[in-house]
Amino acid sequence: MPLVYAGVCSHAPGITGRADQADPEVRGAFVESLDGMRAAIEASGAEALVVVAAEHFANFFMDNMPAFAMGMADHYDGPIEDPDWLRIPKFRAPGNRDLSQRLVTEVMQTVDVAYSEEWLFDHGIAVPLHFLTPGYDLPIVPVNVNCQGPPLTPLHRAWAFGEALRRAADAVPERIALVGTGGISHWPATPDSGKVNEAWDRDFLDRWCRNDRQALLDYDDLTVYAEAGQGGFEIRTFLAVSAAAAGAPGTVRFYAPIPIFAVGCTVADYDLHA
């Protein structure tokens, strides 16, 4: 079936872990937009959710770091973090090994993707799922793009990966929803945590909504690091979704810096039927 949903959202651990420290009104509007994303995914009739994440050393380390990896298991456990710190209880999310295998097989036709039958979720996936599938009743296909351990996955390869994901999603009979999580600009887990370059974020989201491939690939890591922090490297997940959306126009449903969450909180999606 053709891809039924494509969107992006933030995943910072403070969104759940420090929920009570944010302005209740601003946080409420953000959560409302995440609820809207959940409703849209449910309305799409999705039978599986592919989550393109930028994991934080939950599964992969510099002893064997893939540029791309996909999970291929019937279930996934998380979070690896202390549940009291993240304020997400330990959970087991369903997977679909057979579906993953078919998706991986198709992606491999153009992109060398690693696969793993063992995969633990950290906040990069656990936080989005907390809002998008709170009952853990939708099979998940986890995906990782290396945004953490340099040398990082090149942006144009993240784009090619997104195109391959779309081709794979369209080729299987199941209805597939796709969500990318990450960034945008932020300096997470440093003493500068909370810093956000709002102007940079808004310019990026403008490019994302126009689904302007040339503009979205017109970044380099040195500039991103200087202007958007090491957290900005996670734009790779957003780019993969843009490529998968194949030119569809996007809409920002929510954007606001929430400093205690350490990121400009974002919810956006593409209109795949435009």
Among the listed residues 87, 41, 71, the one whose alpha carbon sits nearest the alpha carbon of residue 267: 41
According to the binding rule CB under 8 A, does residue 66 interact with other proteins?
A: no
In the list 1, 108, 114, 120, the residue contacting other proteins (rule: CB under 8 A) is 120
Site for other proteins in 210-229 (CB under 8 A): 225, 229
For residue 222, the minimal CB distance to other proteins (Å) is: 11
Containing H/E element for 252?
A: strand 250-258
Question: Residue 14 or 95: which CB sits closer to other proteins?
Answer: 14
The count of other CB atoms within 10 Å of the CB of residue 127 is 29
Q: Which of these segments, 38-46, 97-105, 167-175, 182-190, binds other proteins (CB under 8 A)?
A: 182-190
Q: What angle is formed at CA 270 by the lines to CA 126 and CA 112, rounded to 5 degrees?
A: 65
According to the binding rule CB under 8 A, does residue 182 interact with other proteins?
A: no
Distance CA 173, CA 6 (A): 17
Question: Residue 98 or 118: which CB sits closer to other proteins?
Answer: 118
Question: Residue 61 or 112: which CB sits closer to other proteins?
Answer: 61
Retrieve residue 142's tokens. 């986890």
Among the listed residues 137, 131, 141, 121, the one whose alpha carbon sits nearest the alpha carbon of residue 265: 131
In the list 59, 144, 146, 185, the residue contacting other proteins (rule: CB under 8 A) is 59
In the list 102, 167, 195, 210, the residue contacting other proteins (rule: CB under 8 A) is 195
Distance CA 196, CA 201 (A): 8
